[in-house]
Amino acid sequence: MKLFDVYPLYDITPVKASGSRLWDAQGKEYLDLYGGHAVISIGHSHPHYVQRITEQLNQIGFYSNAVKMPLQEELAYKLGELSGYTDYALFLSNSGAEANENALKVASFYNGRKKVLVLKNSFHGRTSLAVAATDNPKIVAPVNEAEFIQFIPINDEQALSEAMDETVCAVMLEGIQGVGGIHVPSVSYLQKVRSLCDQFGSVMILDEVQSGYGRSGYFFAHQYAEVKPDIITVAKGMGNGFPVAGTLLSPKFEAKHGMLGTTFGGNYLASAAAIAVLEVIKEENLIQHSAELGAYTIEQLKGISGITEVRGMGLMIGISLPYSSAAVRKNLLMEHGIFTGSASDPNTLRLLPALNVSKADIDTFLDALKSEVMKGQAS
């Protein structure tokens, strides 16, 4: 059997990783400022993380959600404490798409409605409803099409007001749009979503799959706007590479047995991994580090001539060039050994490093980027 060939691959085979470093099969070292697609939050193979998962595997690796698992309760408690959402309830699953499917399902069970407002340029995942809510017709198959999803432009309060009425089940948006190229919803826009959802009995859902877990310099990106969504979804950085996701639900949603379910979600290993991540984020003060180093990085990037725009918060940064960023990204990787991310907007390059990346590593990147942008200007 061969692999179903859906990913364009770099000719690189990482075999070892530590912190923000990767090594390939030939021993070549790379600096990872892409975090394996916003997943690596506490650094590759963090010793506390390795220890927690290893110890857990030596005890028990899996049983079904039909038995008591105090680890899940410990995870929910620690997530509530660190995020400030102590009164919310946690449903555990395996991926960001699933977390969003569950969010929309709970919202629709709650108010019995169907219409969902999402933003243009959004990415919410590839399962059926999540992909229907994703603004990319190329990845929506006919079986995924949902006529009750409406796309509206980010930060356009008038368009939002016009689209809202008592038939709207939910408004779902990313804390910071990631795949779309790092676009931040404004404070007043987030507050408007909150007040219109209250007015019409609609559910406000924040997809923090990419922008959560400290990446923005807050635990959740939306916290900068001082709004409280009804549902928050998390994945990616939650497990630092171990597949785990969560749907955080406000106390207004009543759980009923059988309402949601999963085979693997919240299993012993996933819970141990997710607990280790929260412990490291707290112990190493990584949210503050992300805010401070992110502010420094954004300020330095804004000083580089040849960059059109720098967007983002904390260590979730989009850099727009006046031309396609593909060649710059390739040279950063092949000549300087630095991984960065792309975006659906071809001119944007994304930075999504581990939250404990060092200032020295950021400076190495800034020097490499400057030299590549200078080359771009000369050609």
Q: How far is the CB of 316 from ligand PLP (least distance, A)?
A: 11
Report the residue number, 46 or 236, with the smaller CB distance to ligand PLP.
236
Q: Which residues lie closer than 8 Å to 189 by C-beta, 6 or more apart?
A: 154, 155, 157, 160
State yes or no: residue 209 binds ligand PLP (CB under 6 A): yes
* Two tokens, residue 290: 């992300």
Q: How far is the CB of 273 from ligand PLP (least distance, A)?
A: 14
Query: Which of the stretches 91-99, 294-302, 324-332, 355-363 binds ligand PLP when contact is defined by CB under 6 A?
Result: 91-99
Q: How far is the CB of 125 from ligand PLP (least distance, A)?
A: 3
Q: How far is the CB of 344 from ligand PLP (least distance, A)?
A: 11
Q: Which residues lie closer than 8 Å to 70 by C-beta, 6 or more apart?
A: none
Report the residue number, 210 or 347, with the smaller CB distance to ligand PLP.
210
Q: How many residues bind ligand PLP (CB under 6 A)?
A: 14
Report the residue number, 152 or 235, with the smaller CB distance to ligand PLP.
235
User: b or e along 293-304 (b: 16 or more beta carbons within 10 Å of the residue's beta carbon)?
Assistant: bbeebbebbeee
Instruction: List % helix, strand, coil for the chain (3-state, nearest 5).
Output: 40, 20, 40
Choose, by CB under 6 A, the member of 83, 95, 297, 340 that binds ligand PLP. 95
Report the residue number, 190 or 369, with the smaller CB distance to ligand PLP.
190
N-term to C-term CA, the chain: 44
Q: What are phi and psi of 242, to 5 degrees?
A: -80, 130
Query: Which of the stretches 58-66, 94-102, 258-266, 354-362 binds ligand PLP when contact is defined by CB under 6 A?
Result: 94-102
Q: Which residues lie closer than 8 Å to 172 by C-beta, 6 or more apart?
A: 100, 103, 104, 116, 117, 118, 122, 124, 133, 205, 206, 207
Beta carbons of 62 and 243 less than 8 angstroms apart = no
**Residues within window 173-192 making contact with ligand PLP, judged by CB under 6 A:** 174, 178-179
Query: Which of the stretches 24-32, 50-58, 89-97, 146-154 binds ligand PLP when contact is defined by CB under 6 A?
Result: 89-97
Please tell me the distance from the alpha carbon of residue 339 to that of residue 180, in angstroms, as a whole number.
Answer: 19
Beta carbons of 86 and 80 less than 8 angstroms apart = yes
Site string for ligand PLP, 233-272 (x = CB under 6 A): --x-------------------------------------
Choose, by CB under 6 A, the member of 210, 240, 347, 348 that binds ligand PLP. 210
Query: Nearest to ligand PLP by Cβ — which residue?
Result: 96
Please tell me the distance from the alpha carbon of residue 119 to that of residue 176, in angstroms, as a whole number.
Answer: 11
Q: What are the counts of helices (DSSP H) followed by strands (DSSP E) for the chain? A: 11, 14
DSSP structure class, residue 44: B
State yes or no: residue 231 binds ligand PLP (CB under 6 A): no
**Residues within window 29-88 making contact with ligand PLP, judged by CB under 6 A:** none
Q: How far is the CB of 154 from ligand PLP (least distance, A)?
A: 13
Site string for ligand PLP, 105-144 (x = CB under 6 A): ------------------xxx-------------------
Beta carbons of 317 and 351 less than 8 angstroms apart = yes
Choose, by CB under 6 A, the member of 82, 97, 168, 280 that binds ligand PLP. 97
Q: Which residues lie closer than 8 Å to 283 by C-beta, 6 or more apart?
A: 48
User: b or e along 337-371 (b: 16 or more beta carbons within 10 Å of the residue's beta carbon)?
Assistant: bbbbbbbebebbbbbbbbbbbeeebbebbbebbbe
Q: How far is the CB of 206 from ligand PLP (least distance, A)?
A: 10
State yes or no: residue 92 binds ligand PLP (CB under 6 A): no
Q: Which residues bind ligand PLP (CB under 6 A)?
A: 95-97, 100, 123-125, 174, 178-179, 207, 209-210, 235
